[in-house]
Structure 1
């Protein structure tokens, strides 16, 4: 596939795995017609591996992580499932990394499509593909949209509340030493 291209899905269940020469974190976001999640429960990833009709599967480092979509179980108000990826290593960009998404029939494992986004650079997260509903039929679209502000940037754009880690408390300024008590006169 090429960026922006789409194909109809012939399978009711598809698995999208994203492989690269570095370990990637793969996630899925269930989006309404407004392009937003209904709640944070629509963000499927390693710490929240299941949502309505969508599941996350870890590759355990030996194989790629995947998002599986059971189109028959996706709620009617969800129009698309966005599959994202980001390098597992903090601060790592996609410079020199060519991720490839493989869309498979979830039941048989047969490859339905593959997509490698064009050359990437300073992006730290990527919307790879989307599985979407159009006129009652399901399709997959190659996206390849990069983000320089990581997975938090993608999540925020799609309406997920991202809690920043609390800032380290600032150290209190050093206290001035109390003046020494006057010594008592000798008796």
Structure 2
């Protein structure tokens, strides 16, 4: 493709403080998570539920690392507004199109911060009668946790910095970076 140039950290010099995870780090870990999911759900149908918008990259790449058929669906929930901290108030912006009764559901997240939103989501999904609900997240910030959430599949534990890239945004920017990086504090303070 003539002229194709993906957005890289050096293209937004000054916005990014430090690259935490490279594209190779991310893809290698997703392959491992996919293998774990295949092993754990051998002989069972799995529904991957991606949480919009941030999980788009994780969902696409995780599903491509799987060597078996899976169904996918999406939910959009909101608790952040335009700030950098979770408000704790959750709204469903887009619900599932799939009935999850008696289904094995794996919720796919980009990041778990406080756990408040995810705790609410898991409770909501469990009330719908699935066979099981597990969580797969690319990133987790253990130091930021305010409520315990059982996460079966974790890509990476990271510090409580504000991160962008690989689906994660600040004011709808930086999602298309192929890396995970800390955003320079002057960008959001």
Q: Which TM-score applies when normalising by structure 2?
A: 0.29
Greater C-alpha Rg: 1
Q: Which TM-score applies when normalising by structure 1?
A: 0.30
Structure with bigger helix share is 2
